[in-house]
Chains A and B, each alone.
Chain A
Amino acid sequence: MQSLDKTQTRLEGGVSMKTAMPWIVSAVMLVLMPFIFQSNSAITIMNQMAITIVFALSYNMLLGQGGMLSFGHAVYMGVGGFVCVHVMNWDIFGSIPLPLLPLLGGIFGMILASLVGYFSTRKAGTVFAMISLGVGELIAACSVIIVVFFGGEEGVSGDRTYGMPFFGVEFLSQIEVYYLTAGWLLISALLMYLFSRTPIGRMANAVRDNPERAEFLGYSSRWVRYNSFVAAGFFAGIAGGLFAINYEILTEENLNLTTSGSILLVTFLGGVGVFFGPVVGAIVFTLLQTVLSLETEIWSLYVGALFVATVMFFPSGLAGVMQMHIVPIKLGKWRLLVMPYIVTLVPAIVCILGLSGLIEVLFHARHAAIGETEMTLFWVTFQHTEIWPWVVFALMAALGFWLARKNAPQLMEAWHKANTPDGADT
C-alpha cells in the first residue's frame, strides 16, 4: 500500500541518490573499460558499441517512447555523419575542436528530421512506417546520384587529426577516440533519458498508447510525434558524427535500408519498453557482430534466429527478461529459480550448440573449397567427411532438446512460486 513518506521522496523528485546511481555507475564503467580491455581490437569494438548505443537509444525515442515504427532511421545518422566527414575535409576544420563535431552532425540530423517529420508524423502506424521506408529508400538512392555529397560508391573519407587540438589531444589513437565517444554517449543517453521525463516526453508515451485520448487532453498527437521525431533525428545525427570520427569514412551503407533494419533489430532485441533496453541490445548485437563473425561466416543466421526467438517468446526483449526478475528478487525468492534454470537452460544451450554444429558442418561440407575437408569447431579439429561429428552434434541437439523439454515444466512452476508473495493464495 502507498505510504506517505514514499510520496514525499517522490515529490522532491529530480535528482536523488537512487536516480543518479545508474548514471554514476555507467560513467565509472565507461572510464574503466579501457583498463580492463586493453587490446586495440577491444577498444574498436567498444567504440562501435558506444555509437550503436546512441543510435539505438535515439531509435527507441521513436519506437519505444513514441510508438513510431521507422524503417529509415539510418538516414538521419548517415546524413549527420556525411556532414561531419565533409567538414573534416574543409580548411575551417583546423579551427574546430574535434569533440564538438558530433554536435554538428546532430544539428543536421535534426534539420533533416524536421523536414521529413513535417509530413511523416501526421499519422503513426502503417502510414508512418511506409513513409519512413520510402524516404529511407529515396535518400539511399540519392547517394549514388548526388555524388558531390555522398561520394558515390566509394563514399567520402576524411582525417580527424586535422581538427584543432583539444587541450593538446589530437585524437591520433583509438583510446582518445574512445573517451570522446564515451563522453558523447553519456551526455546523449542522459539527455534522452531526461527528455523522456519532460512533459513532451510523457505525452509521447500517451500518444503512443492512445493518440485519440491525448487529443482530448489538449495535445495535438501530430505535434507530439513531430517533437519526438526531431529529437530522435538530433541524436541519430550525433551517432553519425561519432561514426565519422571513429571510422573517418562514410558510404552509402551508412544510410541504406539494411542499416535501418538492423537498428530496429538491435532495439527490439534489447527491449523497447525499458529505457536501457536498447543499450543491452546494442551491446549484445555488437558482440555478436564482431566476436561471432570471427568464428563463423554465417553469424547473421544466428542473429536472425535470436531475433525471431525474441519476438516470439520475449517480446519485451532482453531488458524485459531482466526486469521480469525484479519481482522474485524483491520477494527474496530468486533462489528457487537457480536449480530449475540450470537443469533447463544447460540442456537448452547444449541443444543449440548441437544444432549450430550441424549447421556449421553442413555449411562447410557444401561451401568449403574442393578438397578442403578439415574444419575446426568448438576448438576441435575434424574432417567433415567423417561420420562422428554429425552423430555427436545430432545427439547433442536431440538429448538437449529432450532434457530441456522435460525440465521446462519444473521451471514454469518455480517461476510461478517465485513470483507469488508469501500468504497470497495461488
Chain B
Amino acid sequence: MTAALDIQGLRKSFGQTEIIRGIDLSIGRGERHAIIGPNGAGKSTLFNLITARFPPTSGSVSLHGRNLQGLAPYQINRLGLSRSFQITNIFPKMSVFENVRCALLWAQGYRYSFWNMVSRSRALTEGAEAILDQINLLQRRDLPAGVLSYAEQRALEIGITIAGGADVIMLDEPTAGMSHSETDYIVELIRTVTEGKTLVMVEHDMGVVFGLADRISVLVYGEIIATGKPADVRANARVQEAYLGAALEADH
C-alpha cells in the first residue's frame, strides 16, 4: 500500500539560508500525524512546500504515489489534499454559508459552470449546512465571515478545509492563539471531522498533539530529529534536549 503522503529529500533555501534541510517522511493512509517543533523550525514552510505554495529547492512530494512536482495548488487540491492556514484565511466579505458552499463547488463537480444556479442545488445547500452544523456555526450562517470571533473563524477555516471531502487534510496550527477551552473544542472538532482521513497537522501546543496524533515528527532547524508514537517521541533523549525540555521548562 502506498503512503498517503511521501516526502523524499525535501530541501528549501531562501537565498543563502536553508530552511528545510532534507526531510524524508512517509505518512500512511488514515494516520493522524503531527509535526511539532520550536518556532522557526520550518513547520509552516514544510506545509507550504507540500501544498505547492512555494516551490522546493530539491526533493519530491508524492500524494498517493503521485509526484506533485510542478502542480499548482488548485491541481493538488483536486487530487484530494486540502489545507488550512496558520493565519486565518477565509473569504471575509462573504457570508459564513457562502464560504463553505464555495468550498463544496469543485468537489461536487460544478467546476467553472455558468449554467447552474447554486441556490437550486439541494446537495450544495444541504452539504454546506451539514458542515456548518459540524463546526457549530449554523446560527452564524448569514453573517459576513469577517465579523466572526477569532475562534469561530478558526472553526470556519477548518470547515472550509474539510468541506471538499479531501482524504488528506493538512492543518497548520489550528489552535494557535486560542484559550484552553477553545483549544479543547477545536481538538474535538478535528478528531470528529478527520475520522477515517489522513491528517497532517502542525502544532506548537504539545498537549494537543499527544492526545490526538497516532505518530509525531519533531522538526528542529529544518530536520526531522525523531518520528514515532507519542510516547516514544516523548521519551526520546534528543527530542527532550532539543525541544520538549525547553518547552516543558517554559511551561512550568
Contact = CB atoms under 8 A, between A and B. Distances in A.
Interface of A: 1-2, 7, 10-11, 13-14, 194-195, 197-203, 205-206, 208-210, 212-221, 223-224, 227, 231
12 contacts: A2-B139, A10-B125, A11-B122, A199-B116, A208-B93, A209-B91, A214-B74, A217-B82, A217-B103, A217-B160, A219-B112, A220-B72
B117 A197 contact: yes
B114 interface: yes
Contacts of A10: 119, 125
B98 A202 contact: yes
B89 A14 contact: no
A332 to B, nearest CB: 20
A214 B103 CA distance: 8
B91 to A, nearest CB: 4
B129 A217 contact: no
B94 A205 contact: yes
A209 B146 CA distance: 11
A220 B116 CA distance: 19
A201 B139 CA distance: 25
B252 interface: no
B90 A213 contact: yes
Given A210-B89, A227-B112, A202 B118 contact: yes
A220 B114 contact: no
A220 B71 CA distance: 12
A218 B141 contact: no
B117 A202 contact: no
B84 to A, nearest CB: 9
A11 B116 contact: no
A341 B141 CA distance: 34
Given A215-B73, A215-B77, A227-B112, A1 B139 contact: yes
Given A217-B164, A219-B74, A224 B112 contact: yes
B120 interface: yes
B181 interface: no
B140 to A, nearest CB: 9
A216 B125 CA distance: 21
B125 A217 contact: no
A209 B94 CA distance: 8
B107 interface: yes
B113 A217 contact: no
Given A2-B139, A203-B105, A210 B91 contact: yes
Interface string B213-237: 0000000000000000000000000
A197 B53 CA distance: 29
B160 A213 contact: yes
Given A202-B101, A216-B82, 20 more contacts: A2-B138, A2-B141, A13-B120, A14-B117, A14-B120, A198-B117, A199-B113, A203-B112, A205-B93, A205-B98, A208-B93, A209-B92, A210-B90, A212-B53, A213-B160, A215-B72, A216-B77, A216-B83, A218-B74, A220-B74
Given A200-B112, A205-B98, A13 B125 contact: yes
Contacts of B98: 202, 205
A373 to B, nearest CB: 55
Contacts of A195: 114
Given A13-B125, A210-B92, A197 B118 contact: yes
B12 to A, nearest CB: 19
B106 interface: yes
A201 B125 CA distance: 16
Lowest 9 A-B CB distances belong to which pairs? A218-B106, A13-B119, A199-B110, A209-B91, A215-B73, A218-B77, A14-B120, A198-B114, A206-B102
Contact of A202 (B77, B85, B102, B129): B102
A219 B116 CA distance: 17
B245 to A, nearest CB: 36
B113 A198 contact: yes
B51 interface: yes
B180 interface: no
Nearest to A212: B89
Given A218-B77, A218-B106, A199 B139 contact: no
Contact of B112 (A14, A194, A216, A223): A223
B115 A198 contact: yes
Contacts of B72: 215, 220
B222 to A, nearest CB: 24
A213 B87 CA distance: 12
Contacts of B94: 205-206, 209
A216 B73 contact: yes
Contacts of B160: 213, 217
A201 B115 CA distance: 10
Contact of A216 (B74, B111, B113, B115): B74
